[in-house]
Structure formats: C-alpha cells, structure tokens
C-alpha cells in the first residue's frame, strides 16, 4: 500500500485530497437530535486528526467524507454530520466548512472554492443510495461523483474498511490512493495479535450474542491460552453447561454450538462464576449478586459479579498479549458497570501489550473515565477488528493494495 507519507512526499499544496474518515460518533440520547445534537464520545474524530493536520499543514485542500448511523439512502435530519463539522473544527483549531450535500451543487461549489489548508466536511455519505448499493454499477457511479471532487484519495477510516461501499472500495479505483496513518496502525496492531502474539495470550469477549462472535471465537481458540467470556453472550454458554439463566439474554439455537466449543477448548474458555441479576433492565431495578449457577427464574443477568472479576483478573495477570472486545455488562447503567471496569483495570496492569477492539469496549474505556494511555492500543473499528481476526479479506484494505 502507498501511504500518507508517500503522498506528502509527492507534494499536495494546492491539490484537493478526498479523505475517507470514520466520524460515526455517538450522540447523547437525552439531548436534541439533528443539527443541535451533542456528541457523547469524539474518539473517532480525534483519531483522524493527525492525518487531517498533516494534509492541512502541507497546503492541501482537504475534503472529508464519512457516514453516520444507518439512514435509508436519503437525507434524514436525524443523521446530519453538521454537529460533527463543528466539533472537528474545534479539534483542528480552525473552522471546518460544511457542505449540505455529498456530491450535489453545494458540495461541488464548496470543494471548488477551498483554499490551501482549508478543510471541508461533506454531508452523510449514506444519504445517497449509491454508497451502500449492492449493485456494482450504482456504487461505481456514486464513487465517480465523489472522485470528481478531488485529485487524490486517502482512506483513514479503519472502522469502515470491512464494508464494500463506494467511498471505501470504489473511489480508490478512480483516484490515486493512499492509506492513512490510522489504517496502517490498526493493521499493524492486528497483525501483532494474530500472526505471532507473545504468550500467554488472553482474549476477553463480551457483548450480547454468541452468534456475533462465533467466527472470531473459532479463529482465536487454537491460538489463545485463555478465552474469557462475559456480557450477554455468557448466558448461552452457562446454559450449555446445564445452568438455568432466568430471563437473561439467551440464544437457544446456539446452546449446542457453545457446548461443542467448551468441549473443544478443554478448560481454556473461562465463564463467570457469579452475576449481578436484576428484576428488569433498568438502573433502578432491584439487583442481587448470585452464583452463575443459581440465577433466579424471575431475574436477568446484567453484569458479571465480583468473584468473576477476580477470576478474570487472575487469568489476565500473567498475559503478555490481551485482546478485549465487548463489555462485561450493561456498563451504561451505573449499577452494572463494575464488571467491565474491573476487567478493564486488570488489563491495564499487564506487563505486555493490550488491544481494545473498538466498538462498545472503546466507548466503555472513555465512559468509565479510564486512562486510555494505559492500554497498548484502542481500535476505532469493532466490526473491522473482528473480521480481521476471523481472517476475512477487508474490502477497503484490498482496494488500497491494488
């Protein structure tokens, strides 16, 4: 892959550079939505700053594009990137121009009027059906309109490289293309934890469903010393052990698969020994800590308990490599955040290299006020990280390598 450094070496002053960023930031659900939305975690915006600053300072005319949420291929005020443009300007220390469309009259006019060192953010890519179209011709047509805005293309959106979308896969067919520093770092880190991880190697998986993580479990199980399972997915494993799980999240059709995985792992899969069980999914619900084998029929597990935290910390302690993806409980609700916090703190203490695999795990680190610098790497792409670990070809990386 050609890199951002290669592009800067060629010279970009006065040239228009189209940057695919991942600005799919979360908003405060209790605040107004749309143009007045309040960003609750700007980590993804901060992650792309080095690339934008390098291009800006080299005199490029920078055109940034990103998706936000899942609009249905048409403009939807709920998913406007306008608040992100404001925040990006604050982070860059200079205003970011915002286009009210993606490839329409406003985008073309503002891209054409950019001066050296200015930054423009286009409206949400997914307001155009061509961005996510399954049909190659429809996608390529939209990519051609995007490419017409610029001279070069830089992909620094690792969180989107697993998508065969126009801005990720098709634009690099049209423009000279380069990998941004964030994409390069992410790939280097994931190679480190897949190709030759230093042992002992411990993987911590959480989240809601076993089915979402099944492929990565199968890919990693032969490589790890311990695989620690928390979050909602642990209850399907507990059911596979013969325990009743009350009203906890359960994938009945995955119980047999979990039973097979436990047999194959021969003790390397570690499950919670106690859970925090509540009467309902609410911060105000009555909750009690019970053995994982004794969850009351009228309660649901919303976090791992303190004995489980201690058990997981004991397994994590000697590790030289840790990969963590998925919270241990409903960390957004204070009564059910202790499990995620305890496991995260154990990961920060290892004498080795740790990777937080993006998504909810990265959000938990910031939401719980943990020291980000205490982790070896915090990924910006949860889905992309998991698909890389599964051994899948990532369309965005494939396109950059051509």
Residue 295 and residue 244 in contact, taking contact as beta carbons nearer than 8 Å: yes
Instruction: Name the active-site residue from 359, 376, 381, 382.
Output: 359
Q: Count Cβ atoms below 10 Å from residue 290 Cβ, excluding itself.
A: 17
Q: Count Cβ atoms below 10 Å from residue 258 Cβ, excluding itself.
A: 25
Rounded distance, CA 280 to CA 298, Å?
A: 9
Rounded distance, CA 75 to CA 316, Å?
A: 46
* 44 a catalytic residue: yes
Q: Please tell me the number of Cα atoms within 13 Å of 352 on its side-chain side.
A: 21
* 359 a catalytic residue: yes
Q: Is the peptide bond before 257 cis (omega within 30 degrees of 0)?
A: no
Q: Count Cβ atoms below 10 Å from residue 353 Cβ, excluding itself.
A: 19
Instruction: Name the active-site residue from 44, 126, 239, 247.
Output: 44
Structure tokens at 299: 């309660």
Structure tokens at 222: 């032969």
* 213 a catalytic residue: no
Rounded distance, CA 304 to CA 273, Å?
A: 8
Instruction: Name the active-site residue from 209, 223, 259, 366.
Output: 209
Rounded distance, CA 281 to CA 302, Å?
A: 8
Q: What is the CA radius of gyration of the chain?
A: 22
Residue with tokens 């000279």: 176
Residue 295 and residue 254 in contact, taking contact as beta carbons nearer than 8 Å: no
Q: Count Cβ atoms below 10 Å from residue 273 Cβ, excluding itself.
A: 16
Rounded distance, CA 59 to CA 117, Å?
A: 5
- Residues linked to residue 205 through DSSP beta bridges, in sequence order: 229, 325
Rounded distance, CA 253 to CA 202, Å?
A: 27
Instruction: Name the active-site residue from 59, 73, 89, 383.
Output: 383
Structure tokens at 226: 């311990």
Task: Residue 84: name the closest of 118, 114, 124 by CA.
Answer: 124
Rounded distance, CA 321 to CA 316, Å?
A: 9
Active-site residue list: 44, 209, 359, 383
């Amino acid at each position: 892959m050609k890199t951002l450094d290669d592009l800067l070496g060629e010279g970009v002053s006065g040239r228009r550079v189209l940057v695919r960023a991942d600005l799919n930031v979360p908003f405060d659900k209790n605040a107004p939505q749309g143009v007045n939305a309040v960003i609750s975690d700007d980590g993804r915006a901060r992650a792309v700053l080095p690339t934008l600053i390098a291009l800006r300072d080299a005199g490029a005319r920078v055109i940034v594009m990103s998706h936000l949420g899942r609009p249905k291929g048409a403009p939807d005020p709920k998913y406007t990137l306008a608040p992100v443009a404001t925040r990006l300007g604050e982070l860059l220390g200079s205003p970011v121009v915002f286009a009210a469309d993606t490839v329409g009259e406003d985008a073309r006019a503002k891209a054409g009027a950019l001066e050296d060192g200015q930054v423009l953010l286009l409206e949400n890519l997914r307001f155009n059906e061509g961005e996510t179209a399954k049909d190659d011709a429809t996608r390529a047509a939209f990519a051609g309109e995007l490419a017409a805005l610029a001279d070069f293309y830089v992909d620094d959106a690792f969180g989107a490289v697993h998508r065969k979308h126009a801005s990720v896969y098709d634009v690099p067919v049209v423009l000279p293309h380069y990998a941004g520093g964030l994409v390069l770092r992410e790939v280097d880190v994931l190679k480190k934890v897949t190709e030759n991880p230093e042992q002992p190697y411990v993987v911590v998986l959480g989240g809601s469903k076993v089915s979402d993580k099944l492929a990565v479990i199968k890919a990693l199980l032969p490589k790890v010393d311990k695989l620690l399972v928390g979050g909602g997915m642990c209850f399907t494993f507990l059911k596979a052990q013969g325990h009743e799980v009350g009203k906890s999240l359960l994938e009945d059709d995955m119980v047999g698969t979990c039973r097979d995985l436990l047999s194959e792992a021969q003790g390397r899969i570690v499950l919670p020994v106690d859970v925090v069980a509540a009467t309902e999914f609410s911060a105000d619900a009555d909750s009690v800590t019970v053995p994982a084998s004794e969850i009351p029929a009228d309660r649901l597990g919303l976090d791992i308990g303190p004995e489980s935290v201690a058990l997981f910390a004991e397994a994590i302690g000697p590790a030289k490599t840790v990969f963590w993806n998925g919270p241990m409980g409903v960390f957004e609700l204070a009564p059910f955040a202790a499990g995620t916090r305890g496991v995260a703190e154990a990961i920060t203490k290892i004498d080795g290299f740790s990777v937080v695999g993006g998504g909810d795990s990265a959000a938990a680190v910031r939401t719980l006020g943990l020291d980000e610098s205490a982790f070896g790497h915090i990924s910006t792409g949860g889905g992309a990280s998991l698909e890389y670990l599964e051994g899948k070809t990532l369309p965005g990386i494939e396109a950059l390598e051509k």
